């Protein structure tokens, strides 16, 4: 399989892109597996946090357009990109944003194209400081996809988004963190430990409240204040009915750290 999936007893679901010989470029099989796994996790009460990572020395070198355009491959019908993208890349990125489970992205080596977009869409992204973030679209003669033109202006601002998308600027992990494209960059030798620390905190957190807070942050980008306040009231009603809310109150009263169950 081109996607390795593993779940541990903490509720951590790890999705590892497993095509190291291709810098974990995402082909159609991998795309479908990612989408199916995310959709399944959305309704699996055992899952409390998800981790996206790549096998070997790289996170993701982008979409595998070479395989799709290989010599001798059947020529697709006109309009095939317009039909395919909405159910592949343009299904995957909104899922990462909308699933009510925290998503942590671990980046070493290359994060190009949709690999960059996965890092932008994740709730927390930690990278090696020598990682390489790149939007290769214009350099290859085509236009951005997978939400690059929506995510980048919101993460780094319009001017810097233009530099990345029009001027072929590449960022190291340290630069990506300084620009606000990702959350943190650390020395490569410290990457696993830094990600594990974030994952442990999220996996032991109040899963319902975390998921609803993620929903509020993403929905609020397109709503006016009154609509967002209505959503906050709705989320507050739901989170206050959770077991973790009651545990949080008990812990506060008893002056101890809470022991959240994720329910």
- Does residue 225 surpass a pLDDT of 90? yes
**Same structural domain, 214 and 154:** no
Q: pLDDT digit string (tens) for 18-38?
A: 999 999 999 999 999 999 999
**Same structural domain, 147 and 230:** no
**Average pLDDT of the segment spanning 138-144:** 92
- 258 in a structural domain: no
- 239 in a structural domain: yes
Q: What is the pLDDT of residue 68?
A: 60
Residue 103 to residue 119: CA distance in whole angstroms: 10
**Same structural domain, 79 and 179:** yes
User: Hey, which bits of 55-191 come out as E strands?
Assistant: 103-107, 110-112, 124-128, 132-134, 171-172, 184-186
Q: What is the pLDDT of residue 1?
A: 74
Q: Domain holding 220: CATH number?
A: 1.10.12
Q: pLDDT digit string (tens) for 61-94?
A: 999 875 565 566 677 777 778 888 888 899 999 9
Say how many domains are in the chain: 2
- 95 in a structural domain: yes
**Same structural domain, 236 and 126:** no
**Average pLDDT of the segment spanning 238-254:** 95
**Same structural domain, 183 and 154:** yes
- 122 in a structural domain: yes
**Same structural domain, 98 and 187:** yes
Q: What is the pLDDT of residue 150?
A: 96
- 13 in a structural domain: yes
**Same structural domain, 191 and 225:** no
Q: What is the pLDDT of residue 71?
A: 64
- Asked which of 163, 186, 203 is the last residue of a domain, the reply is 203
Q: What is the pLDDT of residue 67?
A: 56
Residue 20 to residue 56: CA distance in whole angstroms: 5
Q: What is the pLDDT of residue 66?
A: 58
Strand partners, 16: 4, 53
**Same structural domain, 224 and 243:** yes
- 260 in a structural domain: no
Q: What is the pLDDT of residue 85?
A: 84
- Asked which of 203, 223, 244 is the last residue of a domain, the reply is 203
**Same structural domain, 32 and 62:** yes
**Between residues 81 and 165, the one the model is more confident about:** 165
- 259 in a structural domain: no
- Location of structure tokens 């995510």: 151
**Same structural domain, 55 and 167:** yes
What is the per-residue DSSP string for 165-228? Answer: HHS---EEHHHHHHHTSSSEEE-GGGHHHHHHHHHHHHHTS-HHHHHHHHHHHHHGGGS-HHHH
Which 8-state DSSP code applies to residue 20?
Answer: G
**Same structural domain, 86 and 106:** yes
What mean pLDDT value characterizes the chain? 94
Domain span at 14: 3-203
- Asked which of 203, 229, 245 is the last residue of a domain, the reply is 203
Q: Domain holding 23: CATH number?
A: 3.90.226.10
From the list 86, 99, 119, 124, the residue with the least C-alpha distance to 39 is: 99
**Same structural domain, 174 and 48:** yes
- 263 in a structural domain: no
Residue 222 to residue 40: CA distance in whole angstroms: 26
Q: Percentage of residues in the chain with pLDDT exceeding 70? A: 97
């Amino acid at each position: 399989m081109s996607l390795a999936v593993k779940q541990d007893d903490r509720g951590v679901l790890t999705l590892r892109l497993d095509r190291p010989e291709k810098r974990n470029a995402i082909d159609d099989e991998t795309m479908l597996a990612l989408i199916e796994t995310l959709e399944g996790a959305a309704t699996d009460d055992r899952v409390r946090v998800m981790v996206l990572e790549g096998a070997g020395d790289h996170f993701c070198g982008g979409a595998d357009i070479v395989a799709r355009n290989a010599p001798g491959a059947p020529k697709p019908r006109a309009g095939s990109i317009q039909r395919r993208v909405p159910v592949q890349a343009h299904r995957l990125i909104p899922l990462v944003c909308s699933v009510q489970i925290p998503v942590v992205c671990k980046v070493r080596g290359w994060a190009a194209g949709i690999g960059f977009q996965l890092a932008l869409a994740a709730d927390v992204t930690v990278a090696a400081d020598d990682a390489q973030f790149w939007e290769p679209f214009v350099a290859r003669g085509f236009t951005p996809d997978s939400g690059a033109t929506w995510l980048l202006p919101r993460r780094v601002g319009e001017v810097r988004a233009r530099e990345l998308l029009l001027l072929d600027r590449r960022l190291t992990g340290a630069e990506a963190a300084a620009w606000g494209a990702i959350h943190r960059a650390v020395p490569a030798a410290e990457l696993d430990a830094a990600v594990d620390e974030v994952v442990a905190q999220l996996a032991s957190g109040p899963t319902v409240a975390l998921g609803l807070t993620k929903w509020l942050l993403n929905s609020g980008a397109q709503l006016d204040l009154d609509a967002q306040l209505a959503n906050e009231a709705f989320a507050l009603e739901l989170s206050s009915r959770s077991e973790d809310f009651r545990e949080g109150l008990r812990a506060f009263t008893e002056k101890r750290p809470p022991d959240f169950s994720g329910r």
